[in-house]
Amino acid sequence: MSALTLKLKAAPDQRLDLSALSPAKMATMSQSEIENLAIGTGRRPVKLGDLFAISGTPGDTLVIDGATARLDGIGSELDQGTIIVEGDVGAYAGRRMKGGRLDIRGTTGPYLASGLRGGLVLAKSAGDLVGAPRVGERFGMMGGIVVIAGDVGERAGDRMRRGTIITKGRFGPSAGSRMMGGTLWTETGFGAGPGPLMRRGTLIGPSVERLLPTFGDAGLHDLNVLRLISRYFSSELGDLAPKPLPAKVRRISGDLATIGKGEILLTA
Amino acid sequence: MPELNPVTSKPIEINGITVDDTFAEAFGMTGSSLIITADTIKWARICATVVTGFGTSVIGCGAECGIDYEVSPNDTPDGRPGVRVLMFGFSPDALTPQVKNRVGQCVLTSPGSACYNGLLGTEQKIALASGVKFFGDGNQTAKKLGNRRFWRIPVMDGEFICEDTVGMTTDAVGGGNMLILGRDRTGLLETTEAAVHAIAQVPDVITPFPGGIVRSGSKVGAKYKGMFASTNDAFAPTLRGAAKSELSDDTIAVLEIVIDGLTSAAVANAMRAGLKAVLDVGASKGVTRISAGNYGGKLGQHHYHLKELV
């Protein structure tokens, strides 16, 4: 396995757009082409080689070392290979990713995995609107898996249609807003008012800070689908998978302000 | 009627049993597979038995069905005990309604059951849940995990989980067979049971007749209009003397094992296992001869020569 490493030389004075960086694309580029990639977002043009020390061999892995919250769009449209990020990242990391693996070993800004289609996104903790669509887009996440070790900001899974967001920590307020499918799974709990205007989809967790009045308690259930979900993620994620779900859960149906086919499954 | 032992043939004798120099002639079929799980292996078996019921011959039943093997909880999608069943039909168009109807009537209705794709990776698929999901009357929802979609259909004991599609192959083979002849009916049955047991250890095959054994081997056509098949008079001991018979004077009974498989190699493996079982124990139980049914080799695409399998 060959890897190309980009090490940030100094804190950037503007936000940087790293959406053009992908292991597969860079494997076909010469050293000078890589150094001349435009990554600036301000009036002063910035090239990759200006701010990053580039070492290693282009291949299926890209390592970004010393990252900061001013680096946006890392892993955008990634369809194969691995990107490892040491440090924090800005907005839109993993935006519309289709495959491969984005491993962020720090905190992310908003819109992590925005419109994700496939692949695996890992992060230590995440900002608001994980998986959400950009303004004007119809759907948020359409597939793939996001695993966050710590807490997540507000409205994770907004307009989500398919895929899964898992956190060992806690989802912030209004997780699963306008959700149309897919799964949010927390091992710690949900913040206030999860699932506003959700039509379908599944929120799984031990507790909810405060339920919306448009959600109804549907009582205890023994759902085979939980075994299916547990086993799927156990085989897919190995050690990263959450603990298997219990046999019985309390089901809260909603949002009854819409068609109400969504559910919050309380595991404790 | 199959032609057996033409004059040029040279039967061989193994362990005191004559193996005819002939072959089983089998046909290309369409096959599919389900994995049925339940809360206990007891209920998975019940469901699998019912869904494969009335599935002995495509001619009268629409599909040939049977249990392939039991699946450990470690290997089922939901971690519960399971049973893998196979179903075979003449064509994709003939098999599809059989699979869907059987799931709708026999798996949906069975307590605690769930139904998954037992044949992954095929290009052709049956839209398994395309009908049964509407039993949910609008309350059904789907959960997509990876590239597999599972329908959750509300029922009185919770939810019936049914995978959206199941694999289907047109490389399947139906009609692998062997005829076992003996001078003691009880011993013949015990030997044939042993052969069925040996075949059951081979994956990707079923023996669709009752207990894996058929006693009413048939010839094509009959003297009556509308009868597609009628008794195999050459192998019916009570017709010896009245019709052209293939049976020696001391043959009391003949039993047949019919084998369907998802691949030709699986059918060959099954025949090999069945033949070995018969040859190992048959002589002491009064088995005298093994033969196979064919149609002169002109109708079926697959020929399994007994001599090559013993």
Specify the pLDDT at position B88.
98
Q: State whether B77 and A228 contact (CB < 8 Å).
A: yes
SS3 B233: helix
CA–CA separation, A149 vs A169, rounded Å? 6
CA–CA separation, A176 vs A159, rounded Å? 7
CA–CA separation, B24 vs B35, rounded Å? 29
CA–CA separation, A7 vs A5, rounded Å? 6
Tokens representing A174 are 């209004």
Give the minimum alpha-carbon distance from A144 to chain B in angstroms, rounded to a whole number: 8
Which residue carries 């992954």 as its tokens? B120
Q: Which residue positions in chain A have pLDDT lower than 70? A: 1
Specify the pLDDT at position B228.
84
Is 3.30.70.520 the CATH number for B30-169? yes
Interface contact A224, partner B, CB < 8 A: yes
Specify the pLDDT at position B8.
63
Burial of B26 (0-12, 13-18, 19+ CB in 10 A): buried
ipTM above 0.90, yes or no: yes
CA–CA separation, A34 vs A24, rounded Å? 12
| Nearest-by-CA chain B residue for A259 | B139
CA–CA separation, A127 vs A150, rounded Å? 11
Give domain B12-27+171-309's CATH number out of 3.30.70.520, 3.30.565.10, 3.50.50.60, 1.10.12.10: 3.30.70.520
The percentage of chain A sitting over the pLDDT mark of 70, rounded to a whole number, equals: 100
CA–CA separation, B258 vs B173, rounded Å? 11
CB A266 within 8 A of CB A207: yes
Q: Which residue positions in chain B have pLDDT lower than 70? A: 1-8
Q: Which long-range contacts (CB under 8 A, 24 or more apart) does B210-215 make?
A: B210/B56, B212/B66, B212/B257, B213/B189, B213/B255, B213/B256, B213/B257, B214/B56, B214/B255, B214/B256, B214/B257, B214/B258, B215/B253, B215/B254, B215/B255, B215/B256
Residues of chain B with CATH 3.30.70.520: 12-27+171-309, 30-169
pLDDT by residue (tens digit) across B141-165? 999 999 999 999 999 999 999 999 9
Specify the pLDDT at position B1.
43
Nearest to B141 among A200, A221, A231 (CB): A200
Specify the pLDDT at position A58.
87
Nearest to B114 among A162, A202, A224 (CB): A224
| Nearest-by-CA chain B residue for A235 | B77
Comparing C-alpha atoms, which of A179, A202, A188, A178 is closest to residue A252?
A: A202
Q: Does A255 sit behind a cis peptide bond, omega within 30 degrees of 0 on the bond before it? A: yes
Per the prediction, chain A carries an average pLDDT of 95
Specify the pLDDT at position A40.
85
